[in-house]
Chain A
Amino acid sequence: MPSRDAALEIRTVAQDPVPTRVRASGEWTFKGLKERELELTRRLDELERLPADRVAWDLTAVDELDDTGAVWLANALRNARHVEVAPRYREILKQISEGLQVPAERERFDPLAGVVWTGNAAAGAAEHLRDGVGLLGQLTLDLAGTLRRPREFPLREFSAGIYRSGVTALPVTMLVGFLVGIVLTYLSALQLKPYGADILVIKIVGVGVLRELGPMLASIIAAGRSGSAVTAQLGVMRVTEEIEALSVMGISTTLRLVLPRVLALAVALPMVTFCTDIAALAGAMLVSNFTLGISPGAFLQALPREVDVVNFWIGIGKSAAFGFSVAFVACHYGLRVLPNTDSLATGVTRSVVASITGVIILDAVFAVLLRNVG
């Protein structure tokens, strides 16, 4: 069976006004060209160097022509004057040569690009702020509305939210809390033991865990876990037009989607923080027993004496604020997702970064406001 790969036959007829005769044959397809790529490229390059009016092309023996073959031939025939082609391939050759003539889009240097970028960034930030304030206002109105008409409160979503963002988060946050308690106590003990200030370890770890680390650990894990999930869920609901469907049915998006999630995390996070505190203190107690020789009984007796209980309540109060902030930021970003996958990915990333940053900023504000307490 003769080879059906693409082939070029070049013949020279010296006395003819068009002395070079080129005959293309075989399968001018992606597959057929692949086998003879080097040889054909070399021949086509040679033909490129000849004056166009001295080359006659005969494409009537081409058995099969696909887009790749058409691109090769159309490139070679750019300036050709004498071409004979089977009628069935005329259209594809015409379409591909027209396609090749469309100029490539080039990025032009714009001297004002920096100004445009800054303007866009400022407008984007202003839009974020406007939407955030709007969402907060709407949330307040919805909350006030449900206080007047408690039956409208989405209790089921609220309860599901507490379970999802609170109960299921306990294993990981408690484990992290326990390990941080161990590390913190161990490091403090190493530093304080030479000075005989062993009992200070309980104070440092107690205040540190109850007031700062417990709420922070719980919030950061909640931002990564629940915050990202909320943004992704609302984002996908936007992509699939479920949020639009809610609006069309006259159901408030903030009441049904945002309020239960925000309140659920604001309620669940203090409870998660409480459990994280217990786990961290258990870790601290364990290390104190082995490195400082403070028995668990002595540790538990010294703890309320050394650490004012107000520190615990500050931690719990901060957790509620952090929970609200994390869920609010997550909902805000979720509702801004555009109907494409890229926007969803960006939305989730930004949501997690913004909620963690928000938590740290809030923590700093609380530290300044409550500097004289505890």
Chain B
Amino acid sequence: MAEAESGAGGHVIEIKGLVNTVGQGVILHRDLDFSVRRDEVMSLVGGSGSGKTQLLRVILGLKRPAAGRVRVFGVSWEDPSAKKVRDARRRMGMLFQGGALYSALSVYDNVAFPLRERGGLDEGEIRGIVHAKLAQVELEPSHGKLLPANLSGGMVKRVSLARALALSPDLLILDEPTAGLDPDRSEGFVRLIKRLREEHHFAVLLVTHDLDTLFELTDRVAVLADQHIIACDSLQAVRGMNHRFVQNFFGGERGRRALQHG
């Protein structure tokens, strides 16, 4: 990925002075600055109700902010050039918390969907990529025939990851990737993402409450509290912060335990 194609300084996501409202003008985020560099794993943490999902929706272009500048790969979602917006969208993959697989399509067709929509490849080439993606997320070709309703929670996550990776994204957004998985599967999933990152070098924006996942994957942590990002630094630096949420989040029993293991 050429640096010039990203935003200033090789940032894949840049948010400046964001004001985000919900409902009848209730301010959720105020003067929020946030950025994700290329090739890094950025974790976004925050208490329930702090607006992590709403921030993700803004980043994904699903919600229009009240004010502020949001750029993904240097492109604003309101850019008049539909091509630029489409190209930027195709450079990111999203793993939704519930998988968001198309329930009427088989596993194979779910993964093939973004490739077919983009066009430019024949069915044989698509087949090669889909099976490679399934193999990358440790699924067999025979799983391709299954419908999402017949998959376990872990498999839904893996198929959803395969679909998110289908267009070889430069940015992968993971919303609670290990939620609903048992510790063993969570561990496996984290290992899988780590391995894929080593092979494909994409940036990751991770939203999680799972401290083990956080310690295992992250390069930097952004803490969302009091309507803005109160800290955005290495795990070590953020943990030392004197803030009630940070202290409770990392200093609680679960945080200490994860630290010992991490």
Contacts and interface: CB of A to CB of B under 8 A. Distances in A.
Physical interaction between A and B: yes
A67 B132 contact: yes
Query: Among the interface residues B104, B132, B144, B168, which one has the most CB atoms of the partner chain A within 10 A?
Result: B132
B149 A340 contact: yes
A218 interface: no
A34 interface: yes
Contact of A30 (B120, B123, B128, B199): B120
A342 B104 contact: yes
Contacts of B135: 95, 98-99
A268 to B, nearest CB: 34
B171 to A, nearest CB: 14
Contacts of A68: 120-121, 125, 129, 168
A125 to B, nearest CB: 23
A64 B201 CA distance: 12
A98 B104 contact: no
Interface string A219-243: 0000000000000000000000000
Contacts of B130: 99
B124 A339 contact: no
A91 to B, nearest CB: 6
A61 B246 CA distance: 47
Interface in A87-129: 91-92, 95-100, 102, 104-105
A98 B103 contact: no
B131 A102 contact: yes
B102 to A, nearest CB: 8
Contacts of B136: 95
A29 B133 CA distance: 16
A74 interface: yes
B56 interface: no
B127 interface: yes
Contacts of B243: none
Contacts of B123: 104
B85 interface: no
A92 B199 contact: yes
Contact of A340 (B103, B141, B144, B199): B103
Contact of B128 (A34, A99, A339, A340): A99
Q: Describe A's contact surface by its main secondary structure.
A: helix
Interface size class of A (residues with CB under 8 A): 20 to 34
A105 B145 CA distance: 9
Nearest to A344: B103
B120 A34 contact: yes
B168 A67 contact: yes
A48 B74 CA distance: 41
Contact of A96 (B104, B129, B147): B129
Contact of A100 (B118, B124, B199): B124
B99 interface: no
A29 B144 CA distance: 25
Interface string A314-341: 0000000000000000000000001111
Interface residues of B, number: 31
A306 interface: no
B129 A99 contact: yes
Contacts of B144: 105
B154 interface: no
A96 B132 contact: yes
Nearest to A72: B125
Contacts of A105: 144-145
A66 interface: yes
B93 interface: no
B46 interface: no
Interface in A242-272: none
A71 interface: yes
A44 to B, nearest CB: 13
Interface string A29-50: 1100010000000000000000
Query: Among the interface residues A74, A105, A341, which one has the most CB atoms of the partner chain B within 10 A?
Result: A105
A71 B147 contact: no
Contacts of A72: 125
B148 interface: yes
B127 A99 contact: yes
A340 B127 contact: no
Contacts of A99: 127-135
Contacts of B1: 64
Interface of A: 29-30, 34, 64, 66-68, 70-72, 74-75, 91-92, 95-100, 102, 104-105, 338-342
Question: What 4 pairs between A and B have smallest CB-CB spacing?
Answer: A340-B103, A99-B131, A342-B104, A99-B132
Given A68-B168, A99-B135, 17 more contacts: A67-B129, A72-B125, A75-B128, A92-B200, A95-B132, A95-B136, A96-B129, A97-B128, A98-B131, A99-B129, A99-B132, A99-B133, A99-B134, A102-B128, A102-B141, A105-B144, A342-B103
14 contacts: A30-B167, A64-B1, A66-B168, A68-B168, A92-B132, A98-B132, A99-B132, A100-B128, A100-B131, A102-B128, A105-B144, A339-B103, A341-B104, A342-B103
